[in-house]
Amino acid sequence: MALQRGLKPAPALMALAPGLVLLPLGLGLLRDLHAGGAEQIGRFWLAAFQPSLERSLLTHQLTGLQVTALTALLAWSLSSCIGLVLGLLCSTTIVSTLTGLRWPALMLRRCLSPLRSIHEMVWGLLLLQLFGLNGWVAVLAIVLPYSALLARVLADQLDRHEPLALTALRCAGVPAVANLFTSLIPPVATAIRDHIGHRLDCALRSALLLGIFGLGGLGTELMFSMQSLRFRELWSGLWLMALLLALVNLLIRRLSAGHGLLLLLLALPLVTMQWSRSLHHDLSLPRWVDGAPWASSAQWIEGMSQAWIETPWLELVGETLLITLLASGVAIALPPLLRLIAPAPGPGRIVKAGWLLMRLLPAPLTALLLMLASKPTITVAALALGLHHSGVMGLVLEDGLARVDDREHQAMVALGARPRSAWLFGVLSPASKRYLAYAAYRSDVILRDTAVVGLVGGAGLGWQLMEALSSFHWQQVGWLVLVYAALTLLGELLCERLQEMT
Amino acid sequence: MPRRVQPAVMVAGFISALTFGSSVVGCSSTTPSSIQVLKIGAIPDQNPERLNRLYEALSDELLASLDIDVQYVPVSNYAAAVSAFRSGSLDLVWFGGLTGVQARLQTPGATVLAQRDIDAEFTSVFIANGASGLRPITSADQLVQLKGRRMAFGSESSTSGRLMPQFFLGENGITMTDLAGGGPGFSGSHDATIAVVQSGAYEVGALNAQVWQSNVDEGRVDSEKVVVIWRTPPYVDYHWLARPDLDARFGEGFTGRVQNALLSLSPTTERGAVVLELFGAKRFIPAQNKDYSKIEAVGRQLGKIR
Amino acid sequence: MSLLELRRAGLTGRLQPLDLTIHRGETTVLLGRSGAGKSSLIGLCNGSLPSDQGHVLWRGQDLKRCRPEQRRQIGTLWQDLRLVEELTVLQNINTGALGRHSMVWALRNLLQPPEPEIGSAILRQVGLSSDLRDQRVSGLSGGERQRVAIARLLRQQPMLVLVDEPLSALDPGLASDVLNLLLHQSSCVISLHRPDLMHQFQRVLGLRQGELVVDAAPSAINESTLAWLYSED
């Protein structure tokens, strides 16, 4: 037993191990592959090189792009500010230093996990019930889960570091508050800044997706094009989005070096307010819509038990977990695997462009493309989700690799290690810990995202949630949301245990 | 280096104060000045270029006949369109049969204004991939041969792409669990259903007959790979639905004026011809709430209406 | 006059209950094998390890109830230094003075560290160039980092200095410099691995298996006592 504990696998291998799921997925795909959709897929990729340049289309898409960007920026700025405050309140180190008690922080943390467990698309459709079609609905739909996620990341970071300097300064008579931001915040500042910067990219994609599910912006335009398989029009929008993503990433990288990120966070709400006015995008104070779409409370209680009985929970949860597991495996292992195959900077650049492409294509679109070439199975759903999120993980990995101290790698090369193993143990290994920690949050997101590709296999909780929402079956929606929350909470507890063990 | 930081902090403070102030002011000053705008919308079942052209033409037409500002709000999701109508974000919506009933049940007092000539007797087609070995069906009871097949529907709230096909399958003894994979797949749209059946991912699919016809007419269907195997009996489908508060907001008798404007669209005028052509109809005809009681019953039976 | 007083204070499993009084102006060395309880005793004295038996009194008041401004009078040089790695040298030195200043001062220290001239003077005092002032601590060598920690201690101006193994990471030349610097503080308790240096102190405390077994002037300690102190069991 003791021996087993002594034999810890190298962190780099831990990052690659989830790639094992590629095997069954690949086999499944091979079995179900057919050439019937080759023509459509060919049309799709050809259209990338000849996007539609029709004037009225571009005007519509540009307006849509601005609405998407505006929604994303506003949501990003608000969720970052709120998430930072909540994160401080969720940190057991901070709360126990200030009050001597740990449970308020833990409790707040647990209370926030349901917010994270619900997909922004579902938030959007729920908020739409309450406020109607208002610009704030999309913003809030992103702010709610994003703030909760940032709070968790920040609290995890704060509580992970053993606060040695904190004890030292406390013993030296430094008052608690001054001590906390002097000894606790600086060690996590870089990681948090990276995370916040990276969330803007995510917010943009979320805003696009919200459009796809009916809340306006470029996503709405793309959805129409996608549904009618007008790939040239689709690509006009995708290229615009790509441009925006690239621009934003460049900007963030420039800004996060200094205090620019903070300034941007604070300035954005002001700018976006003015901007929305020039676009005639309704960002007025949302007002409660009279009357609820759901039944009275007595009917609710009766309907709840009915809805619980008629839903095949075991099957749904099983399928959802399977999709999440497979997709997480792909998303986590693919980036390091591809970089291992191509450690040189030249091919590395191609791989990086590949990540951008993966992030650019919304998961429902990837799923539709895969479905044209394969029979509809869970494999397709998992692969679509996995590929989309591997784009995100690829970005995280590249950021992590860029921060690795090169000395270890050089030492290995000097010792005569082959380029690949030198890269594996000299570059990937040191970056792995943070990468894997981020992977835990990503699988959280993938679990929520099963709602988006639910349509593919007609499987899992995600599909059931879409069906319940479109039938306005609120009791079932309520249960599904609860089950999602429970799964997220379980995942969180599991991750915490794993982190304690390693 | 740290010396340069202080101004940054001051600027940050200044900006955040300004932001807070302006967002408070901004929120209150942009309260909807749009009370006199008629917001029209539609469920998403057309391509964007066509939708944009269609609603531009229709807005112009309504502006001319009603003397009122019309704004088209695109919504890409069926359920979102229903909710937007209920919450008053849309005043006049082109709904499908099922979504219209859902919206009307959630918005007491909403009235059906009109439908197209083709909507009174609308149909869906079942299409099959050539390699599936499925032959055209002459009578509905032969639908049993679809048992164990991979079947694709369109959107989950579509009347012609899901509700009615599922209903007719049920009538002839096929439940959803009889299909391969324990249930149907949902391609998301009528066009996508054609694509996934043509590719062979699904063996059989059901969709809006009008969309099928226009795809055939435009040569976007490979008749070697995909054929119609069955056409459903007729049912009522798409219609215009108006919110109950239109008269109160736009003046007595406004709902009736909108209805008249829609019904009097005629292919003899230039704009009318454009609108009707894009809608794929010769004219709009009157319709009432009760025309859709069959759809409501089917919706309830299949659990899409609660 | 007594500064710190331990009354049957102990840590279960680590340190037997002991009585000890540290006086003002007294220099004390703490000897013993690794694991004998030297770090635990230091922790007991500065409050980082709260005693679970007996009492620790700082100038007559229970240390657990002391307010920050009283705790400020005890300074510690930790074995693992406990600097804030992500901050600059000057910022770290200034953390020694946080106890005397307001919150605003503490915030300023993060953005634009105040009183750089005091920091520079202290840096020179510990034998470092003031050019290091704006460098991040994480980039410094072991010896430099330890001097930064000492500089922080000097900035704190404590009444009693507690030091845990200050010389283990240093070469002999540096070691004597550091020791001199520390001995110049008014009152100190320094734990050392080097019994040969005990004659520079006024008082010797010896710990063996978690028990205080020696408390005497250096002259009263002979070779056999030392041998026993460092013997296996």
Percent of chain B with pLDDT over 90: 46
Judge if B206 and B225 occupy the same domain: yes
Q: By mean pLDDT, which of A224-233, B26-35, C212-221 is the weakest? A: B26-35
What is the spatial distance between Cα A5 and Cα A28, in angstroms, rounded to a whole number? 35
pLDDT above 70 for B221: yes
* Location of structure tokens 């060598």: C141
Both tokens of C160, joined, read: 């009693």
Proportion of chain B in helix, strand, coil states, percent, rounded to 5: 50, 15, 30
C104 in reach of chain B (CB within 8 A): no
The least confident of A270-284, A467-481, B65-79, C118-132 is A270-284
Nearest residue to C108 via CA among A179, A190, B5: B5
- Beta-carbon contacts of residue A304 (< 8 Å; ≥ 6 apart): A475, A478, A479
Rounded distance between C-alpha atoms, residue A446 and residue A389, angstroms: 8
User: If you ran DSSP here, which 8-state letter would residue C233 be given?
Assistant: -
Question: Which pLDDT belongs to residue B14?
Answer: 55
Residue B6, pLDDT > 70, answer no
In 3D space, the residue among A441, A438, A439, A429 whose CA is nearest the CA of residue A401 turns out to be A429
- Give the model confidence (pLDDT) of A356-387 as tens digits: 888 888 888 888 888 888 877 788 888 888 99
Specify if B23 maps to a domain: no
One domain for residues B243 and B226: no
Domain boundary among B197, B231, B265: B231
Going by C-alpha positions, the residue among B206, B105, B118, B104 that lies closest to residue B164 is: B206
Residues of C whose CB is below 8 A from B1: 134
Burial (0-12, 13-18, 19+ Cβ within 10 Å), A310: exposed
At residue C2, φ and ψ (nearest 5 deg) are: -90, 135
Name chain B's partners: 3 or more CB pairs within 8 A. Answer: A, C
Touching A: B residues 74-113, CB under 8 Å: 74-84, 86-90, 102, 106
Kindly state whether residues B152 and B199 are assigned to the same domain. yes
**Domain final residue pick, B231, B259, B277:** B231
pLDDT of residue A286: 75
CATH number at residue B128: 3.40.190.10
Q: ipTM strictly over 0.95?
A: no
Interface test with B, best of A33, A73, A270 (most B CBs within 10 A): A270
Q: Which of B272, B240, B282, B283 is nearest to B54 (CA)?
A: B272
Q: Which tokens is B249 given? A: 């907001």
Write out the residue range of the structural domain in which residue B210 sits: 123-231
> Does residue B14 belong to any structural domain of this protein?
no
Question: Using CB atoms, which chains have 3+ pairs under 8 A with C?
Answer: A, B
Residue B15 lies in a domain: no
- Determine contact: C103 vs chain B, CB below 8 A: no
Inter-chain Cβ pairs, chain A and chain C, closer than 8 A: 81
Kindly report the nearest CA distance between residue C43 and chain B, in angstroms: 35
d(CA B12, nearest CA chain C) in Å? 13
Residues A87/A153, Cβ–Cβ less than 8 Å = yes
Closest residue in A to B39 (Cα–Cα):
A133
Task: Among A176-180, B33-37, C94-98, name the one with the lowest average pLDDT.
Answer: B33-37
Distance of alpha carbon C191 from alpha carbon C100, whole angstroms: 28
Mind telling me how many Å the CA of A182 is from chain C's nearest CA? 7
Give the pLDDT mean for B185-191.
87
Mean pLDDT, rounded, of chain A = 84
Asked if the model's pLDDT at residue B144 lies above 50, the reply is: yes
Cβ–Cβ < 8 Å for A265, A221: no
Domains of chain A by residue range: 55-166+173-293, 295-502
**Does the pLDDT at position A277 exceed 80?**
no
Last residue of a domain, one of B231, B261, B288: B231
CB-CB under 8 Å, B27 with A285: yes
Domain match, B41 and B169 both = no
CA B214, CA B223: separation in Å to the nearest integer? 14
Select the highest-mean-pLDDT range: A109-123, A483-497, C86-100: C86-100
Q: What is the pLDDT of residue A433?
A: 80
pLDDT in tens, A413-431: 888 888 788 888 888 888 8
pLDDT at B21: 52
Which tokens belong to A118? 């619900």
Q: How far apart are CA A101 and CA A95, in angstroms?
A: 7
User: Does A373 sit within 8 Å of B156, measured CB to CB?
Assistant: no
Phi and psi at C70, nearest 5°, equal -80, -40
Q: Residue B207 to residues A177, A225, B154, B177, B199: CA-CA distances in angstroms?
A: 64, 18, 7, 20, 16
**What pLDDT sits at residue B4?**
41
Beta strands in A367-497 (DSSP E): none
State the DSSP H helix or E strand holding residue B40, giving kind and residue range, or none if neither.
Answer: strand B37-42
Q: What is the pLDDT of residues C105-114, one digit of tens each?
A: 998 998 889 9
Structure tokens that stand for B127 in this block: 């299409």
pLDDT at B25 over 50: no
Write out residues 128-147 of B within 8 Å (CB-CB) of A. 129, 131
Residues of C with Cβ-Cβ distance to B10 under 8 angstroms: none
The Cα-based distances of C215 to A277, B9, B226, C2, C21 in angstroms read 80, 55, 99, 16, 11
Please compute the mean of the pLDDT values over residues B250-274 and round it to a whole number: 90
Residue type, C107: L
Give the residue among A440, C25, A125 at the shortest CA–CA distance from B84: A125
- Write out chain B residues lying below 8 Å of A473, CB-based: 303, 306
pLDDT at C1 over 80: no
Nearest Cα neighbor of C59 from C159, C191, C180 is: C159
- pLDDT single digits (tens) B79-136: 889 989 998 889 999 999 999 999 999 999 999 999 999 999 999 999 999 888 888 9
Domain check: are B169 and B96 in the same one?
Answer: no
- Chain A contact set for B200 (CB, 8 A): 34, 36-37
Residues B158 and B255 in one domain: no
CATH among 3.30.2130.10, 3.30.1330.20, 1.10.3720.10, 1.10.510.10 for A55-166+173-293: 1.10.3720.10
Shared domain check, B248 and B116: yes
Pairing relation of β-strands B69-72 and B226-231?
unpaired
Confidence of residue B28 (pLDDT cuts 50, 70, 90): very low
> Around Cβ B128, how many Cβ atoms within 10 Å?
26
Which pLDDT score, from 0 to 100, does residue B165 have?
A: 95
Judge whether residue A127 has pLDDT over 70. yes
Tell how strand C2-11 and strand C187-191 pair up. Answer: unpaired
Task: Give the count of domains, chain B.
Answer: 2
Question: A215 to chain B: which residues are within 8 Å by CB?
Answer: 80
Based on the domain organization, do B95 and B243 belong to the same domain? Answer: yes
Top mean pLDDT of A305-314, A409-418, B9-18 is at: A305-314
CA A394, A396, A397, A399 torsion-angle sign = positive
Numbered residues of chain A with Cβ closer than 8 Å to any chain C Cβ: 164-165, 167-179, 181-183, 185-187, 189-190
Quick one: B246 and B194 in the same domain? Answer: no
Local confidence band at B300 (pLDDT 50, 70, 90 cut-offs): very high
Dist CA C133 CA C87 (whole Å)? 11
**Record: fold of A295-502:** MetI-like fold (1.10.3720)
The answer to whether B188 contacts A259, with C-beta atoms less than 8 Å apart, is no
Structure tokens at C162: 């507690």
Q: Would you say the C-alpha torsion A81, A82, A83, A87 has a positive or negative sign?
A: positive
Looking at beta carbons, which residues of chain A come within 8 Å of C107? 181
Domain ranges for chain C = 84-157
Same domain, B81 and B160: no
Asked if residue B224 and residue B145 are part of one domain, the reply reads yes
Within the 133-162 window of chain A, which residues sit less than 8 Å (CB to CB) from chain B?
133-134
Residues 6+ apart with CB under 8 A from A271: A73
Q: How confident is the model at residue B2 (pLDDT cuts 50, 70, 90)?
A: very low
Backbone angles phi, psi at A375, to 5 degrees: -70, 150
Residues of chain B found within 8 Å of residue C112, distances taken between Cβ atoms: 2-3, 5-6
CB atoms < 10 A from the CB of B151, how many?
A: 29
**What residues of chain A lie within 8 A of the CB of B212, using their CB?**
none
**Closest to A83 (Cα-Cα) out of A42, A144, A22:** A144
For A9-50, write each residue's pLDDT tens digit: 567 777 788 888 888 888 888 887 777 778 888 999 999 999
Contact assignment for A128 to B83 by CB distance below 8 Å: yes
Contact residues, chain B, for A220 at CB < 8 Å: 74-76
B306: nearest CB among A230, A373, A472: A472
* Domain presence at residue B7: no
